[in-house]
Structure 1
């Protein structure tokens, strides 16, 4: 097992989701992935992870992003697709689609590296009210712009640069006009900021595309709990030794307000949103 660690701000929900994304991606790419948040050194909070083999799991995931391309997939009989945005839509003949086919904007995206490794992102279409499983789709009002296109745009911003930032991947920034809205270092609420950057052509927002991409991956198997319309709760699984957790415990911690098992170091957080524009549209 090879191990690695990266700095993380656990009060930034996008970075927490992205840490889970590192583990989910490493599970696909390497196998036997584990991880945990280590705040035993308060001045240097880190996410530690490990995976099968001798390859640094952080570097392996970032190299995958450096090489990845995006396609979407839809049911064989679906009228929806993403060709309009220059993203190929593959037709799924299996009849086992992950959720209701409701539009091009929420078609699942598949990241592929050309070497037979695929990572799928589909949280934005998966909503299960009966189990309070929210889809965390925070973008809207972009002319039906699909999640697959947002993933493609983020990859274009980091291509060839991601692995070079393995020591601090969440610090890689780029001029980013649109995103999944997971890392709020880029985003804003105009009424709070006092102006709208969209009205000033000389103002360009800088985003954090690695956070955005891996946060989307990290929500594959776990979601925060939605308490109210604009409020979520998420939990962070801490370490009290060098033993790391299997993914199931990190997933369980994210969606609960108590530690998954007694004695686990654990911190709950509240995530409050607001309407950036028209109420009821994007959050």
Structure 2
């Protein structure tokens, strides 16, 4: 089997969720896949993917994203707003009712391959882990992230393959999974949004579009464990696990000999929730 490795910051919840997303995406695109975390190397923690093909799974996933677009999914009896220009009608819908800002999406490439992303609209889960708010839609956020990935894929291709979770760029709105892109007016002394009308003063946050999009993919079948209001735990593991076992392992619910657990909080920035860096609980 082929093993591919990338660096990961285990205290960044968005990066860990994105690693789960890479595992889910690898299985969807390449077939059977397993993953583990290795926190022993002196150079820093690593995330490893093992597949049955000779292809680099990280490269395959990034190539898919660089060729994909986000299409909204709407229920058949819903009056689609005119601002939603590209959509597909679903026979079943995950939420009790449709909301233009949180419609499920499918990522579809030019060959027709597609994957459903809908965790923010999952009516069957108490904690949907939807962090963004306002008038932004999941479709717009995803397409914004995809456009950034296309740019990085063409201009910083080698760096993106070597360290996909740490190639950063300035971004507008996001899903709010990467704490490097989080800000609060109380902390910085002013609101970045207030400067958007002044091009000379306009500022944008810097984060990873790969983390933002792959974290959303990772949350499709897994969640961090909720400890209290806006406080969560996640775990990383050292055993090779397929997606079906990695999902409960992420929440710390899978008994494993070697695992590390981390706690993190969600802070508030207006109506948005933002991910804070995590603190490790144990030291195996």
**What residue number does 1:71 align with?**
71
Give 1:57 shift: 0.4
Q: Which residue of 1 aligns with 2:278?
A: none
Unaligned runs of 5+ in 1: none
Q: Which segments of 5 or more consecutive residues in structure 2 lack a partner in the other structure?
A: 196-200, 274-284
Counterpart CA distance in 2 for 1:107 and 1:204 is: 26
How far apart, CA to CA, are the structure 1 residues paired with 2:64 and 2:122?
Answer: 25
Conserved in 1, the CA contact under 8 Å of 2:94 and 2:123?
no
Aligned counterpart in structure 1 of residue 114 of structure 2, from 118, 124, 129: 118
Question: How many equivalent pairs are there?
Answer: 264
Q: Does 1:194 align with 2:184?
A: no
Equivalences for residues 188-227 of structure 1 within 5 A: 188-200=183-195, 201-227=201-227
- Tell me whether 107-116 or 187-196 shows the greater mean CA deviation: 187-196
1:102 aligns with 2:101: no
CA gap of 1:232–1:128, structure 2 versus 1, over 3 A, is farther
Q: Residue 171 of structure 1 aligns to a residue in which SS? A: coil
**Residue 137 of structure 1 corresponds to which residue in structure 2?**
130
Is the partner of 1:26 in helix, strand or coil? helix
- Provide the C-alpha distance between the structure 2 equivalents of 1:103 and 1:202, rounded to a whole number of angstroms: 30
Secondary structure of 1:101's counterpart equals coil
Note the C-alpha offset of 1:119.
1.6
Aligned ranges 1:21-60 → 2 under 5 Å: 21-60=21-60
1:268 to 258, 261, 267: 261
Whether 2:135 is the aligned partner of 1:147: answer no
Question: Are residues 57 and 272 of structure 1, via their aligned partners in 2, closer, same or farther at CA, if it must alter by over 3 Å?
Answer: same
In structure 1, the residue corresponding to 2:97 is in which secondary structure? coil
4+ residue runs over 6 A deviation: none
Distance apart, 1:127 and its partner CA? 4.7
Query: What's 1:282 paired with?
Result: 272
The answer on whether the counterparts of 2:164 and 2:210 sit within 8 Å (CA) in structure 1 is yes
User: Does the Cα contact within 8 Å between 1:189 and 1:274 map onto a contact in 2?
Assistant: no
* Alpha-carbon distance in 1 for matches of 2:95, 2:246: 24
Q: Relative to structure 1, is the Cα distance of residues 91 and 127 closer, same or farther in structure 2, using a 3 angstrom cutoff?
A: closer
Q: Specify the SS of the correspondent of 1:253.
A: helix
Once residues 14 and 256 of structure 2 are traced to their aligned partners in structure 1, the CA distance between those partners, rounded to angstroms, is 26
Note the 1:137-176 alignment, pairs <5 A.
137-141=130-134, 143=135, 145-162=136-153, 163-164=157-158, 165-176=160-171
Tell me the C-alpha RMSD between the 2 structures: 1.8
- Distance in 1 of aligned mates of 2:220 and 2:28: 12
Question: Which one is further off, 191-200 or 45-54?
Answer: 191-200
Q: After the TM superposition, which residues 233-244 of structure 1 pair with which residues of structure 2 at under 5 Å, given as runs?
A: 233-239=233-239, 244=240
SS in 2 for 1:137: coil
